[in-house]
Structure 1
Amino acid sequence: MRCRLPLPRGVAGQMVVALVASLILIHGISFAVFVLGNLTGREMPGQMHRLAAAVWTLDALPGDTRLEALQSLRRGGPGLNLALAQSPPAGFDWSGEGLPNPLVEELGRHFGIGIAAGPAGGDTVKLAFRLHDGSVLLAEGSRAERPPFFFAGPAFITALFLAVSLAVLGGWAAHELIRPLQRLAGAVERFGSDTIEPEDLPQEGPAEVRRVAFALNRMQHRINQLMENRVRMLAAIGHDLRTPITRLRLRAEYVEDPALRQSFIEDLDHMDALLQGGLTYLREGRSGEPTVTVDLASLLSTVSDQFVDLGQDVPLEGVSCRVPVAGRPSELLRLFSNLVDNAVKHAGGGMIRLTVVAGRVRVEVVDHGPGIADRDKIAMQEPFVSGDAARNKDRPVGFGLGLSICRAIARGHGGAFTLLDTPGGGLTVRVELPLKTQ
Structure 2
Amino acid sequence: MRLLPRRIFPRLVLPLLLAIGLSQGIWLAEALHGQHRLKRGLVHSQIFEQVEATLRLLAALPAERWAETVEHLSLSDLCYAIEAAPVVADGPDQDPPLAGRLASLLRLYAAGPPRLAMETTDTRPCAGYEAVSGSPHAGPADHSHDFGALAIAVPLADGRWLNAQARMVLPPLWDRPTLVSLLVLAGVTIGGVFLLVSHETRSLRRLAAAVERLGRGETVPRVPEDGPSEVVALIRAFNTMQDRLTRFIQDRTRLLGAISHDLRTPLTSLRLKAELLDDPDLAAQMTATLTEMETIVRSSLDFARNDATSEPSRDIDLTALVDSLVEDMAELGQDVAFAEDSPRLTLPARPTALRRALRNLIENAVRYGHHARVACRRADGAALVEIADDGPGIPDDQLAEVVKPFVRLESSRNRATGGVGLGLAIAADIVAAHGGSLALRNRAAGGLTATVSLPLPAAGRSGAPTAKV
TM-score normalised to structure 2 length: 0.63
Q: What residue in structure 2 maps to residue 96 of structure 1? A: 89
| Structure 1: distance between partners of 2:444 and 2:208 | 42
- Find the counterpart in structure 2 of residue 424 from structure 1: 445
Given that 2:308 and 2:354 are in contact with CA atoms closer than 8 Å, whether structure 1 keeps it comes out as no
Any stretches of 5+ residues in structure 1 without a counterpart? Answer: 1-14, 66-79
Sort the Cα spacing of 1:251 and 1:385 in 2 relative to 1 into closer, same or farther, 3 A: closer
SS at match of 1:355: strand
2:433 to 398, 412, 418: 412
Q: Give the whole-Å Cα distance in 1 for the aligned partners of 2:448 and 2:283.
A: 35
Structure 2 equivalent of residue 176 of structure 1: 199
Match of 1:68 in 2: none
Match of 2:262 among 234, 240, 243: 240
Q: CA deviation at 1:343?
A: 2.5
- Residue in 1 that maps onto 2:142: none
Superposition RMSD in Å: 5.2
- SS across alignment from 1:326: strand
Identical pairs, percent: 27
- Please tell me whether residue 188 in structure 1 is matched to residue 211 in structure 2: yes
1:187 partner letter:
A
SS of 2:348's equivalent in the other structure is strand
Letter in 2 for 1:420: R
Q: CA deviation at 1:429?
A: 0.6
Residues 34-58 of structure 1: CA deviation (Å, up to 9, x unaligned): 69958xx995267557756775686
Q: Note the 1:19-418 alignment, pairs <5 A.
A: 43-44=39-40, 48=44, 59=55, 63=59, 82=78, 85=80, 87-88=81-82, 94=87, 96=89, 101-103=94-96, 110-111=113-114, 118-119=123-124, 124-125=148-149, 127-133=151-157, 136=162, 138-140=164-166, 169-191=192-214, 193-195=216-218, 197-253=219-275, 260-284=282-306, 286-297=308-319, 299-300=321-322, 303-304=325-326, 307-308=329-330, 311-319=333-341, 324-347=346-369, 349-357=370-378, 361-381=383-403, 383-384=404-405, 386-388=407-409, 392-396=410-414, 400-418=421-439
Q: Does the 8 Å contact 1:370/1:425 carry over to 2?
A: yes
Name the structure 2 match of 1:8: none
Deviations 1:27-82 (A, max 9, x none): 9x969x769958xx9952675577567756865788459xxxxxxxxxxxxxx955
Could you tell me how far apart the structure 2 residues matched to 1:159 and 1:322 are? 50
* Partners of 1:128 and 1:321 in 2: CA distance: 84
Counterpart for residue 131 of structure 2: none
Q: Does the aligned pair in 2 maintain the 1:371–1:427 contact within 8 Å?
A: yes
Whether the 8 Å CA contact 2:366–2:372 is kept in 1: the answer is: no
Q: Does 1:437 align with 2:461?
A: no
- For 1:293 and 1:353, locate their aligned partners in 2 and report how far apart those are by CA, in whole Å: 21
**Deviation for aligned residue 1:175:** 2.4
Per-residue deviation, residues 300-356 of structure 1 (Å, max 9, x unmatched): 455446655665433444358976543223212220221123234433x23141233
Kept in 2: contact 1:355–1:361 (CA 8 A): yes
Give the aligned partner of residue 77 of structure 1.
Answer: none
- The amino acid of 1:334's aligned partner reads R
- Distance across 2 between alignment mates of 1:309 and 1:182: 46
Residue segments in structure 2 that go unaligned for 5+ positions in a row: 1-12, 62-75, 104-109, 126-145
Instruction: Please tell me whether the aligned partners of residues 87 and 153 of structure 2 are also in contact (alpha carbons under 8 angstroms).
Output: no
Partner Cα distance (1:114, 1:327) in 2: 83
